[in-house]
């Protein structure tokens, strides 16, 4: 099988870190003849928008649909209003390709120091709902430009949407002998949508009698995550809560430069998408100082999804060896290596395994 991968580098540091991700994939293909891939790069970014007044061609989604996976950098540029790349590129891909599970591992890699003193290694998965919830464009504004102005923004929670997300998380929990799933909620204050959320999670949980489900209010949960992050294994969260929890989680395990994500279509009738959780970082772009590890780890998640857990493990060992070695780290990890040097060091580790 030759895997076909669509590559969307995006803006800012996106192309810089994606370059390192591609180097790693190529290195794997070089050392393992059973792994073959072809990639096509689509420069659907802010330059494209400024030229064509859209983020991707009219047939963009049907083009992407035929790929085995999408490898995404980051998007966003000061010249384009913030909501445009999100609502015209990222959201259409996530929603149309039914990538309703956003998996974000919060894992303290070997050699990474956490800013807090946890009583053990931090290693949990956040399953974030990725296709509905608070990130909706339903709503509107009334009485604009008056002192009476009102904005209404609707959250969409569907029983099916929560069930499928929760099922995926519980499935993982069962396979990995996880005893407890934490449900991030706020149904005490958000009484309609979060109540339905809790009920749907509970319903799924009832099919897994050996796994306990604990509802924790999101405000308390963020405090607990700082106080005892090592006690968590699996968290299910809505789109907004999951977004916030995972940036907090990223900070606990070394920062945005070390945090990957997978936008998964569990049915596999559409491609899934793999991207770091960070954005295009205009403050550091063009300088080759961005950390490529989040992007390379995202490549490892992609390999796992494509059925090559063996290659994914090789990549993770290579990343951890480079971090532990401390010699080729980018400035966010206290070193002075350039982006490509970190990528090269990881490739070298792969060649030596
Ligand atoms: P950001 O994640 O780009 O940057 C936040 C901070 O983290 C910055 O100080 C940046 O330098 C640092 N940082 C991020 N990635 C890093 C890396 N790999 N290595 C070292 N340092 C890193 O978030 P920000 O600044 O809020 O947004 C910048 C642009 O990115 C905006 O246009 C935003 O809309 C977009 N964005 C895009 C996302 C995506 O493509 N999925 C996700 C988040 C933001
Ligand atoms: Mg975010």
Q: Please check whether residues 221 and 325 belong to one and the same domain.
A: no
- For 295, the domain range is 1-100+270-353
Kindly report whether the global pTM for this prediction surpasses the value 0.90.
yes
Q: Tell me, in angstroms, the distance from the centre of ligand 1 to residue 280's CA.
A: 5
Q: Check whether 325 has a pLDDT greater than 90.
A: yes
Measured from the Cβ of residue 314, the count of other Cβ atoms closer than 10 Å reads 21
Are 253 and 121 in contact by the 8 Å Cβ rule? The answer is: no
Q: Please check whether residues 41 and 168 belong to one and the same domain.
A: no
Instruction: Give the closest ligand to the alpha carbon of residue 244.
Output: 2
The average pLDDT across 94-101 equals: 95
Cα gap 120→110, rounded to integer Å: 12
The average pLDDT across 206-214 equals: 97
| Token digits of residue 351 | 């060649």
Instruction: Give the closest ligand to the alpha carbon of residue 21.
Output: 1
Q: Please check whether residues 137 and 243 belong to one and the same domain.
A: yes
Q: Specify if 105 maps to a domain.
A: no
Residue bearing the CA closest to ligand 1, atom 36? 279
Q: Check whether 71 has a pLDDT greater than 90.
A: yes
Q: Please check whether residues 38 and 128 belong to one and the same domain.
A: no
Chain-centre distance for alpha carbon 90: 12
Give ipTM to 2 decimals. 0.98
Last residue of some domain: 253, 286, 320? 253
Place of tokens 């991207």: 275
Q: Please check whether residues 221 and 125 belong to one and the same domain.
A: yes
**Residues near ligand 1 (Cβ within 6 A):** 13, 17, 74-76, 82, 90, 256-257, 275, 278-284, 290-291, 294, 332
Q: Tell me, in angstroms, the distance from the centre of ligand 2 to residue 323's CA.
A: 24
The average pLDDT across 222-249 equals: 96
Q: Specify if 326 maps to a domain.
A: yes
Domain count, the chain: 2
Q: Please check whether residues 122 and 225 belong to one and the same domain.
A: yes
Q: Please check whether residues 57 and 147 belong to one and the same domain.
A: no
Place of tokens 């596999």: 268
| Token digits of residue 293 | 């590890």
Q: Please check whether residues 217 and 168 belong to one and the same domain.
A: yes
Q: Residue 201 maps to which CATH number?
A: 3.40.718.10
Instruction: Give the closest ligand to the alpha carbon of residue 297.
Output: 1
Residue bearing the CA closest to ligand 1, atom 4? 281
Using the atom order of ligand 1, give the atom closest to the CA of residue 284: 11
Q: Check whether 105 has a pLDDT greater than 90.
A: yes
């Amino acid at each position: 099988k030759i895997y076909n991968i669509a590559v969307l580098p995006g803006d800012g540091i996106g192309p810089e870190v994606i370059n390192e991700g591609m180097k790693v994939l190529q290195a794997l293909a070089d050392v393992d003849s059973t792994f073959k891939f072809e990639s096509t790069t689509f420069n659907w970014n802010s330059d494209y928008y400024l030229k064509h007044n859209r983020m991707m061609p009219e047939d963009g989604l049907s083009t992407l649909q035929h790929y085995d996976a999408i490898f995404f950098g980051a998007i966003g540029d000061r010249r384009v209003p913030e909501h445009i790349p999100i609502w015209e590129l990222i959201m259409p891909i996530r929603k149309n390709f039914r990538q309703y599970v956003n998996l974000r591992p919060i894992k303290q890699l070997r050699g990474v120091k956490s800013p807090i003193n946890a009583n053990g290694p931090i290693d949990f998965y956040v399953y974030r709902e990725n296709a509905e919830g608070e990130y909706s464009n339903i709503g509107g504004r009334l009485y604009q430009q008056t002192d009476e102005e009102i904005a209404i923004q609707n959250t969409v929670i569907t029983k099916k949407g929560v069930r499928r997300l929760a099922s995926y998380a519980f499935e993982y929990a069962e396979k990995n002998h996880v005893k407890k799933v934490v449900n991030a909620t706020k149904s005490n204050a958000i009484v309609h949508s979060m109540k339905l959320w809790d009920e749907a999670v509970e319903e799924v949980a009832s099919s897994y009698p050996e796994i306990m489900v604990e509802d924790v209010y999101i405000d308390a949960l963020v405090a607990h995550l700082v106080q005892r992050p090592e006690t968590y294994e699996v968290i299910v969260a809505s789109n907004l809560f999951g977004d916030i929890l995972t940036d907090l989680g990223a900070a606990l395990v070394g920062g945005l430069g070390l945090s990957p994500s997978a936008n998964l279509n569990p049915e596999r009738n559409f491609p899934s998408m793999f991207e770091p959780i960070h954005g295009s970082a205009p403050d550091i772009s063009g300088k080759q100082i961005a950390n490529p590890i989040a992007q390379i780890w995202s490549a490892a998640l992609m390999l796992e999804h494509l059925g090559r857990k063996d290659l994914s493990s090789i990549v993770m060992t290579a990343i951890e060896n480079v971090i532990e070695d401390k010699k080729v780290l980018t400035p966010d990890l206290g070193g002075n290596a350039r982006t490509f040097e970190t990528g090269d060091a990881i490739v070298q580790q792969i060649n030596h395994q």
